[in-house]
A = this chain, B = another copy of it.
Amino acid sequence: MQEKETTKNFGAYMDRTIKLIKHNYTKSFKEIGVDITTEQWVILDSLNEKDGLSQNELASGSFKNAPTVSRIIDLLCKKDLTERKPSKEDRRKHHIFLTVKGRNTYLKALPIVEGLRKKGWNGLNDEDYDHFIRIMNQVFSNFEL
Contacts and interface: CB of A to CB of B under 8 A. Distances in A.
A106 to B, nearest CB: 15
Nearest to A136: B13
Interface residues of A, number: 47
A115 B119 CA distance: 35
Nearest to A16: B63
Interface stretch (A70-78, A82-90, A94-102, A121-129): A121-129
Q: How many copies does the complex hold?
A: 2
B136 A14 contact: yes
A120 B131 CA distance: 16
Interface of A: 4, 6-21, 23-24, 42, 63, 113-114, 116-124, 126, 128-129, 131-133, 135-140, 142-144
